[in-house]
Amino acid sequence: AQSVTQLGSHVSVSEGALVLLRCNYSSSVPPYLFWYVQYPNQGLQLLLKYTSAATLVKGINGFEAEFKKSETSFHLTKPSAHMSDAAEYFCAVSRAGNEKLTFGTGTRLTIIP
């Protein structure tokens, strides 16, 4: 079975500061890993995904994530936070060849002016 753990249900950072959202996964097979963002009362938008190619993945809105197999981690980062980054972020995993996503419980990111 696969699972995802997101450390910190709420994260606050100052505008312009580094954003770091943590995600650890568990998978018995090489995983596909995803980060999604959800704005209030909206659906989910894909930020980036890892599919066994480059371990450093660049996404939209200046976000990137690094796949570290030894640490079973896929943390999301952004060098400089913007007010528009305030949202809920979900990490998700799926098995290569399997279809459904298993989501973490989410991290709510607040940006302090």
Partner 1 sequence: NAGVMQNPRHLVRRRGQEARLRCSPMKGHSHVYWYRQLPEEGLKFMVYLQKENIIDESGMPKERFSAEFPKEGPSILRIQQVVRGDSAAYFCASSRQGMNTEAFFGQGTRLTVV
Which residues, in sequence order, are CB contacts of 85 under 8 Å at separation 6+?
Answer: 19, 61, 78, 109, 111
Contact residue for partner 1 among 11, 17, 51, 59 (CB under 8 A): 51
Counting contacts by CB under 8 A, is residue 96 touching partner 1?
yes
22 with 7: CB under 8 angstroms? yes
Q: Which two tokens stand for residue 81?
A: 């936070």
Contact residue for partner 1 among 22, 44, 72, 77 (CB under 8 A): 44
Q: Which two tokens stand for residue 35?
A: 């980060």
**Residues 4 to 43: which contact partner 1 by CB under 8 A?**
32, 36, 41-43
Nearer to partner 1 among residue 3 and residue 14 (C-beta): 3
Contact residue for partner 1 among 22, 62, 64, 106 (CB under 8 A): 106
Closest CA to 24 of 48, 8, 44, 40: 8
The contact set with partner 1 (CB under 8 A) reads: 32, 36, 41-46, 51, 90, 92, 94, 96-97, 99-106
